[in-house]
Amino acid sequence: MAELIITEKPSVAQKIANALADGKIESNTYNKKVKYYKIKHGKNIIYVASAVGHLYNLAEKNKQGWTYPVFEVEWKPSYEINKASSYTKNYLNAIISIAKKCNSFCVATDYDIEGEVIGYNIIKYACKQKDARRMKYSTTTKEDLKESYDKALKHLNFAQTEAGLTRHTLDWWWGINLSRALTLSIRNATKRFKVLSIGRVQGPALKILAEREKEIKSFKPVPFWQIELISDKFSAWHKEDKIWDKKEADKILKKTKNKDAILSKIDKKEFKQSPPNPFDLTALQLEAYKLFNISPKQCLEIAQELYTNSYISYPRTSSNQLPETIGYKKIITALSKQKDYTKICNYLLSKKSLKPNNGKKKDPAHPAIYPTGEIPKNLEAKEKKVYDLIVRRTLASFGDPATRETLTFEIDVNKEIFIAKGTKTIDKGWHEIYGKYAKFEEVELPNLNENDKIKVKEIKLHEKETQPPKRYTPASIIKELEKLNLGTKATRAQIIDNLFERNYLNNKSIEVTDLGLKTVETLDKYCPEILDPNLTREFETDMEKITQNKKKSKDILEKAKSSLIKILNKFKKHEIKIGKELIEANDETVEQENTVGPCNKCKDGTLMIKYSPKFKTRFVACSKYPDCKNTFSLPRGLPKSTDKKCPECGFPMVTIIRAGKRPFDYCINKECPKKLEWIKQQQTKSSVTVVHEKKS
């Protein structure tokens, strides 16, 4: 007999086979579609087979159609639940087939809650076992994988498994029951079938975003004035900063006109700026968005790929600490072989000791994200950026503090005080290591002494207005969710993505649609518990306690079931009112999304994106059809209206979204004078973002 090692992804299965094989690797294919490996390790025969994420998912037990509440669930093969998961069938059958040849089993999925659930379900349902050995690793390098196998844990992490199974059940209960409640409220109120959905974390996340949107929409700007002193070499601002009374501002202006300006006080302070902490996932996502405009979701996908290829450690971590056990000197020595980092690494290796500036956040499963030292090959542009950022952040955490200096001038103009502030770096320290990512404001003030007379060119009055709060970005909302303990490090980006897909949000700087606002307003009015972050946060804390063996799944699920029944009973009482309000908001949102602009022919109509079921195509047509038959064809893809106008002809533009391809802006005008030139550019340059259709 033999042992079966189960991995989470095919690429990791191959890496483990390569790491453990004493000799030749026997590569096999199940059903001509799924690869698995047979190797010899010492005296053992080992099969290495792969899952592709979750091979089992929750489904309703004894399905009774569209009704709620529903609490009876069971784990079933993913391909039986969802047609989109049909590709998982061969992977599952391959494992079932190999398991029959084995008497020992080892789970080597990612060492986190989701990985534990994936491995546990395969061991239980596919392999018909109660337990297995467990590999625990944070990088997929050959050395770490071999050590992980040789020191494999004797049992699965059942506390992590229990927490993961509980989370899946809670999310399923909330998602199915609340989504059915919303959908059926519309059907029962209007006889229309429109699927709406909400989730355990999505509801509170949407409310956070909607509250910010309401603040922005209700914001009323308030005027204020600022007074600037402009000299030859610097500017200073009146110490009051914002002056809310114009008469007061005019009074100061009059008082300081043509008066001497004396440098009455100089305050110089030097301070040490500590190196940055190593990256946890959220910090990496925030930095990648700020520096490269890479979305949190894409950042995680890139980091996962870098991890799978053994270039970095496991990215789904909450820790910003690097333990000594990872081997600081070994990693930095390996990185020194990459020419971009040779100089930095040699400097660090010359230090008497190596100690990173660890943060306070911990993760029981994995350390902070760090590079393994393996040399990357064939990285795409964004992968190079994220990899370089991780390397430099890790190395910078070992650097020396930077020394910076602040200099403050107080300037007296007829008893009115103006303040000038400067900041400069005295000793770059870790800035040198972090390189172009260490962006800090440098404002140098001239070398002056107290009581020096300042030559004033102008004292200027600026009239301004208060600004509304900024909308969340995909990165800042993830930071907010983490602060509120909503969702997990691995799911937060997907939660926001789901809100976009469900038409609750639009735009890069997150704007809540009328449907999103109305959904929150309606649920807040009739059933606010659905959006309550406190309840969600409480369950997150409960699941953390499961991993610590301080609580049991059964007790948490009973509490959750009781809470959900109360929520649904309350919802049912207001079902008709909720349904009417939600469908009205949905219709308004759909109309807004499909509005392209005013008709250029009849002037009374509006150009709208339409869909032809007969030809299965989308096009733009006038809302006054058939009186106005103005139409425009659209290229293949999903069109989205924009507020952009063609810079050449002034016609409206729509964004065309195609699966797996970069979205582009499209001018609807058949007669645009630049259409042939731009079509040629589109064919030859992938960077072109504006194309025009050929004349039909």
What is the set of active-site residues? Answer: 314
Q: At what angle do helices 381-396 and 342-349 cross, to 10 degrees?
A: 20
CA 293 to chain centre: 11
Q: Name the amino acid, one letter, at 668.
A: I
Which pair of tokens denotes residue 142? 């050959």
CA 189 remoteness from chain centre: 36
Give the number of other Cβ atoms within 10 Å of residue 347's Cβ.
Answer: 17
State both tokens at 324: 């000594």
3-state DSSP call for residue 7?
strand
With beta carbons less than 8 A apart as the criterion, state whether 430 and 399 touch: yes
Question: Largest Cα–Cα distance of the chain, in whole Å?
Answer: 97
Helix boundaries (H) for 196-309: 202-218, 246-256, 281-292, 296-308
In 22-134, the DSSP E strands lie at 26-30, 34-41, 44-50, 56-60, 73-77, 102-107, 133-134
Rounded Cα distance between 282 and 280, Å, is 6
Q: In which residue are the tokens 């402009």 written?
A: 230
Match 């096009």 to its residue by tokens. 619
DSSP 136-202: --S---HHHHHHHHHT-BSS--HHHHHHHHHHHHHHHHHHHHHHHHHHHHHHHHHS--------TTH
Tokens 């059907």 found at: 187
The pair phi, psi for residue 478, each rounded to 5°, is: -65, -40
Q: Are 15 and 145 in contact (CB under 8 A)?
A: yes
